[in-house]
Structure 1
């Protein structure tokens, strides 16, 4: 009888948001995944200098949304905190004034 080991650690998860005020009223889900796909999403973000905010609870909620779906109004406050983090990061790196 073969036995498979069950991973004791949960898979890493990632959700990427994109926002273009000319196209959407709110950020939309650009990518999401777990395990190797999550790692790839994070690698791409790092390659392109996109700030990464780790928030397991928010990833849990956002991962339930469909790709290209705008975030619902109920999540605006949480996502606003992330956007604020990104804008501060950009300013600190001299990307925006």
Structure 2
């Protein structure tokens, strides 16, 4: 058994308005994936790489909301991306010390 010489690259983009669940706004393989990533870089959108998550989200249709089981995962990615850009939700103090909590616990 041999591995293929070329593993297709996939990319997805999500749109989030802060009110509704994030929606799939773009998806593509190979050249289209590279174009999606190029646009993200051009607009300084943080890029998060996770092949398994992309495979799951790429099954969706454009405009679909992310499935509920992925809410927490996507929320953490969006929060981290906001943090990287120096953005914080209204009412949050960016200078407050971090709060430790058990991330393995079910809420």
How high is the TM-score relative to the length of structure 1? 0.81
1:76-95 equivalences in 2 (<5 Å) = 76-91=71-86
Match of 1:51 in 2: 46
1:11-90 equivalences in 2 (<5 Å) = 11-22=8-19, 25-90=20-85
Structure 1 residue 33: Cα displacement: 0.3
Tell me if the contact between 1:58 and 1:78 (Cα under 8 Å) persists in the aligned partners. Answer: no
Query: Residues of 1 paired with 2:18 and 2:41: CA distance?
Result: 23
Structure 1 residue 59: Cα displacement: 0.3
Q: 5+ residue gaps in structure 2?
A: 89-107
- Superposed CA RMSD: 1.3
Bigger fraction of residues in helix: 1
User: How many pairs were matched up?
Assistant: 85
1:5-16 equivalences in 2 (<5 Å) = 8-16=5-13
Match of 2:92 in 1: none
Higher relative CO (CA 8 A, sep ≥ 6), structure 1 or 2? 1
Query: Residues of 2 paired with 1:69 and 1:84: CA distance?
Result: 21
Following superposition, which runs of at least 4 residues in structure 1 exceed 4 angstroms of deviation?
A: none
Match of 1:3 in 2: none
